Amino acid sequence: MRQVLLLNASYEPLTTLPLRRAVCLVLRDKAEIVHRDATGAVLHSATMSIDVPSVIRLRRYVRIPYRTRVPLTRAALMRRDNYRCAYCGRRAETIDHVIPRSRGGTHTWENCVASCSSCNHRKADKLLEELGWVLNVTPAVPRGVHWRLIGAAAENGDPQWAPYMAQLAA
């Protein structure tokens, strides 16, 4: 699915959104197109045409509350673990609690890892020591403002996003 980078009125990157949502914001005059698609693609309707956006900017400034801790979501956890199973390294589809919740484990960054279905099923509600397994990664809380941009991985984003993504690294 095509993603579009959304900037605040101050040109600060906020998030990425699907093309359909971005076009709706532009059509409702809540956002403006900053960069058009590099291929020059155009969307047509019966009465109008609109350039396919790559980067859009909100017309009004939106205040983003400062969070000391990144919220634990499925998308963020998968991104943190690079969509790889923490036990075998294959493609992950599920989330596993290292210390199972049935045994007092918590639903926190430090206790959750991405897992493939087969490892998650084999582990069930057992502890790693009982199975003789070890984690390939140490679960930790992600840090930095770039975690707001869950869909904006630099390697698969549009090259036109680079100047805005560089603001996050600075």
Kindly report the CA angle at 76 between 12 and 100, in degrees rounded to 5?
Answer: 155
Instruction: For the beta carbon of residue 93, count every other beta carbon within 10 angstroms.
Output: 14
pTM listed for this prediction: 0.62
Dist CA 57 CA 157 (whole Å): 17
The pLDDT tens digits of the residues spanning 82-112 come to: 899 999 999 999 999 999 999 999 999 999 9
Q: Which pair of structure tokens corresponds to residue 36?
A: 């058009």
Can you count the helices (H) and strands (E) in the chain?
5, 8
Q: Where do the structural domains in the chain lie, given as residue ranges?
A: 1-64, 74-131
What one-character-per-residue DSSP string does 100-131 give? -GGGT--SSGGGEEEE-HHHHHHHTT--HHHH
74-131 CATH pick, 2.60.40.10, 1.10.30.50, 3.40.190.10, 2.60.120.560 = 1.10.30.50
Q: Which pair of structure tokens corresponds to residue 119?
A: 């490892």
Dist CA 90 CA 17 (whole Å): 28
The pLDDT tens digits of the residues spanning 32-82 come to: 999 998 888 999 999 999 999 999 999 999 987 776 677 888 988 988 898
